[in-house]
Chains A and B, each alone.
Chain A
Amino acid sequence: MKDTADSYVTEDGRTIGPVVMEMKNITLRFGGVEAIKDISFDIREGEIRAIIGPNGAGKSSMLNVISGFYVPQEGEVWYKGARRPAMKPFEVAQQGIARTFQNIALFEGMSVLDNVMTGRLTHMTTGLFAQSLWKGKAEQEEIENREVAEKIIDFLEIQAIRKTPVARLPYGLKKRVELARALAAEPSILLLDEPMAGMNVEEKEDMSRFILDVNDEFGTTIALIEHDMGVVMDLSDRVVVMDYGKKIGDGTPHDVRNNQDVIDAYLGVAHD
């Protein structure tokens, strides 16, 4: 039913909408190495979609294809019902796809608030001239966008460090600020590249809670990458499993957990 119906309601009462993004037969090569081999999957509106797999499976490459940092040699990306032409990453961002990075890419010299405000850049439309004059439309725009930024800062519980330069923050908080910046864009799809990487158990729990809350509160569609199976299974509605650049499983956490290929990929296969 799930694959055909336009929308459905999950067990915990959230409505999952129609397909918002579809990857069709994506192949990505670096020279002679095939990082992604002929992979297709889709992302539905309002769901939490996970891409998992062991190290080197091509998960991050896939995320980079979605966010425009890599251009696949073959295959098509469909977004909101139209085929997306090859795009620069900043154009993808302007289309409403926000992301975080595995190794955190924040503006270290800027304050937390300034970082979150950069997330609003795609929503600010006044030109160079109006901005230079500052009064009037530009000021109005700044106030409106500042309100959104403050709301998100409140939501992620980082009010206390609003004015702190990011460089001084500990790792876990930086991850949260990066999430805030991506969220500030009010994205159609939020891409999270290993949001729990390098965190201790407590931080992981915090982050999981925030991801669920974001999805619940704002209805944000989230696609995330993790290699920690346990976390993903609890969070996501549907899971794509990759191994050596190929898709070896796709479905609900329950389906995937019982998939023999997936079990083999994670636990290894006896060669006899």
Chain B
Amino acid sequence: MNEQLAYTIEVFANGLMAGVLYALVALGFVLIYKASGIFNYAQGVMALFAAMTLVGIQNGQVPFAHLINAIFGTDVHKFGWHVHSFLAIALTVLVMIALAWMVQRFVFRHLVGQEPIILFMATIGLAYFLEGVADLMWGSELKALNVCASEGACLPQGMNVWLEGTTYEALGYGFFIDNLDIVASIVAVILVAGLVIFAQYTKQGRAMRAVADDHQAALSVGVSLNFIWVLVWSLAGFVALVAGIMWGAKSGVQFSLSLIALKALPVLMLGGFTSIPGAIVGGLIIGVGEKLFEFLIGAPFLGGATENWFAYMLALLFLVFRPQGLFGEKIIERV
């Protein structure tokens, strides 16, 4: 097999895997935007917060340890136990649900009917607030995230040896694909399938779609907007947790994690702000696009590092030629 072609395919596959992670973050945005018209700038910070909470609970860290020590003059840092990953994830989900409830109760309930720009500003505030709380609660140092089902059965790291060996024997070229990326892809597929099934076939899912479509009509059939909004923020929190685990396992839990939200923006412009399939396809296109562009054009001709801006340039092109994105609702104004 042609080495150059094989290498291109490998880059393509790696791009797909990276795209899955972008899509995961974009998915959180779409959920909230569809149901409430709020563009949640804090989605990235939610992923960070979720990942930090998970690590903190796993390692038995005392939340707000610095604060407690400063006020009471104590010196507590750890409970001294280690929580099983699954239990820690369950607890983190509860924390995210509580967060969703608080966000709705103390922020957005008071902003119903406000201009979108005001809601957006509120989410910026929320992002910084949450970042501060995360810092205060769990400390700001870089932490390693390891999710393990049991001793030795953790989220896999490094290259998939089996795939490399098999492809080498069959094609004469071994593909380098990260184990973690494969897991992330599988998890993302399950997550998206789950969300779609939930939205299509359950009572709450139907109510959720109703709210996304028309608030007034939803009220008239007995749907509580508040309940649905808490539900949607909880789902977004859950998606943020999954994204946080994947990114955190890849590059450690650190504050730059919240910046992945910025990478999700071009994904949304491509896929459309209101479409769940759009978020997925948009993520994949951006992931593949930036890897291939870097490999075929960027590195040989433009001096490299095109991955930093390629996604935004693509988004800009889309804004010019198809502002609603690939799957978004078409904007038609009647005159």
Q: Report A's interface with B, CB cutoff 8 A.
A: 67, 69, 88-91, 93-94, 98-99, 101, 105-110, 114, 117-119, 121-122, 124, 126, 128, 131-132, 134, 138, 141-142, 181-182, 185
B206 touches A88 (CB 8 A): no
How far does the alpha carbon of A119 sit from the alpha carbon of B213 in the complex, in Å?
15
B210 touches A107 (CB 8 A): yes
Beyond A93-B219, A118-B207, A138-B202, is A88–B213 a contact (Cβ under 8 Å)?
no
Return chain B residues, CB-CB under 8 Å to A117.
206
A88 touches B219 (CB 8 A): yes
Return chain B residues, CB-CB under 8 Å to A98.
220-221
Q: B216, B221, B223, B225: which has the most chain A beta carbons within 10 Å? A: B221
B198 touches A132 (CB 8 A): yes
Return chain A residues, CB-CB under 8 Å to B221.
93, 98, 118-119, 121-122, 181, 185
Name 17 interchain pairs, CB-CB below 8 A, sorted by A. Answer: A69-B219, A89-B220, A90-B219, A98-B220, A99-B220, A101-B216, A105-B217, A107-B209, A107-B213, A107-B218, A108-B214, A110-B209, A110-B213, A118-B206, A118-B218, A121-B206, A121-B207
How far does the alpha carbon of A265 sit from the alpha carbon of B168 in the complex, in Å?
90
A131 touches B216 (CB 8 A): no
**Least Cβ–Cβ distance between A64 and chain B, in angstroms:** 11
Beyond A90-B225, A93-B221, is A118–B202 a contact (Cβ under 8 Å)?
no
B224 touches A128 (CB 8 A): no
Return chain A residues, CB-CB under 8 Å to B216.
69, 101, 105
B:194-222 near A, CB below 8 Å: 198, 201-207, 209-210, 212-214, 216-222
Of all chain B residues, which has the CB nearest A68? Answer: B219
Please count how many residues in chain B sit with their CB below 8 Å of the partner chain's CB atoms: 24
How far does the alpha carbon of A119 sit from the alpha carbon of B205 in the complex, in Å?
14
B204 touches A90 (CB 8 A): no
How far does the alpha carbon of A93 sit from the alpha carbon of B225 in the complex, in Å?
13
Return chain A residues, CB-CB under 8 Å to B219.
69, 88-90, 93
Return chain B residues, CB-CB under 8 Å to A122.
221-222
Q: A90-B218, A119-B221 are in contact. List 19 more A-B contacts (CB 8 A).
A: A88-B219, A89-B219, A93-B221, A94-B222, A101-B220, A105-B216, A107-B210, A108-B213, A108-B214, A109-B212, A109-B213, A110-B210, A118-B218, A118-B221, A121-B203, A121-B210, A121-B223, A131-B205, A185-B222
Return chain A residues, CB-CB under 8 Å to B210.
107, 110, 118, 121
Return chain A residues, CB-CB under 8 Å to B223.
90, 118, 121
How far does the alpha carbon of A88 sit from the alpha carbon of B215 in the complex, in Å?
13
Return chain A residues, CB-CB under 8 Å to B214.
105-108
B225 touches A134 (CB 8 A): no
B209 touches A109 (CB 8 A): yes
Q: Which 8 A-B pairs give the minimum distances between C-beta atoms?
A: A93-B222, A105-B217, A107-B213, A122-B222, A89-B219, A131-B202, A94-B222, A124-B203
Return chain B residues, CB-CB under 8 Å to A88.
219, 224
How far does the alpha carbon of A89 sit from the alpha carbon of B225 in the complex, in Å?
10
B14-51: contact bitstring with A at CB < 8 Å (1 yes, 0 no)? 00000000000000000000000000000000000000
Return chain A residues, CB-CB under 8 Å to B225.
90
Return chain B residues, CB-CB under 8 Å to A108.
213-214
Return chain B residues, CB-CB under 8 Å to A106.
214, 217
Beyond A105-B216, A132-B198, is A138–B222 a contact (Cβ under 8 Å)?
no
**Least Cβ–Cβ distance between B277 and chain A, in angstroms:** 14
Return chain B residues, CB-CB under 8 Å to A105.
214, 216-217, 220
How far does the alpha carbon of A141 sit from the alpha carbon of B205 in the complex, in Å?
15
How far does the alpha carbon of A114 sit from the alpha carbon of B203 in the complex, in Å?
11
How far does the alpha carbon of A112 sit from the alpha carbon of B133 in the complex, in Å?
46
Of all chain A residues, which has the CB nearest B194? Answer: A132
Return chain A residues, CB-CB under 8 Å to B201.
134, 142
**Least Cβ–Cβ distance between B266 and chain A, in angstroms:** 25
How far does the alpha carbon of A132 sit from the alpha carbon of B203 in the complex, in Å?
9
Return chain A residues, CB-CB under 8 Å to B231.
128
Return chain B residues, CB-CB under 8 Å to A119.
221
How far does the alpha carbon of A139 sit from the alpha carbon of B97 in the complex, in Å?
26
Beyond A88-B224, A90-B222, A122-B222, is A101–B217 a contact (Cβ under 8 Å)?
yes
How far does the alpha carbon of A105 sit from the alpha carbon of B231 in the complex, in Å?
23
Return chain B residues, CB-CB under 8 Å to A69.
216, 219
**Least Cβ–Cβ distance between B141 and chain A, in angstroms:** 37
How far does the alpha carbon of A228 sit from the alpha carbon of B261 in the complex, in Å?
55
**Least Cβ–Cβ distance between B51 and chain A, in angstroms:** 24
**Least Cβ–Cβ distance between B98 and chain A, in angstroms:** 15
Return chain B residues, CB-CB under 8 Å to A109.
209, 212-213
B209 touches A121 (CB 8 A): no
Of all chain A residues, which has the CB nearest B202? Answer: A131
How far does the alpha carbon of A109 sit from the alpha carbon of B330 in the complex, in Å?
12
A121 touches B222 (CB 8 A): yes
Return chain B residues, CB-CB under 8 Å to A121.
203, 206-207, 210, 221-223
* Residue from B203, B213, B217, B224 within 8 A of A131 (CB atoms): B203
**Least Cβ–Cβ distance between B230 and chain A, in angstroms:** 11
How far does the alpha carbon of A91 sit from the alpha carbon of B220 in the complex, in Å?
9
**Least Cβ–Cβ distance between A264 and chain B, in angstroms:** 35
Of all chain A residues, which has the CB nearest B225? Answer: A90
How far does the alpha carbon of A67 sit from the alpha carbon of B221 in the complex, in Å?
11
Return chain B residues, CB-CB under 8 Å to A90.
218-219, 222-225
**Least Cβ–Cβ distance between A231 and chain B, in angstroms:** 23
**Least Cβ–Cβ distance between B190 and chain A, in angstroms:** 14
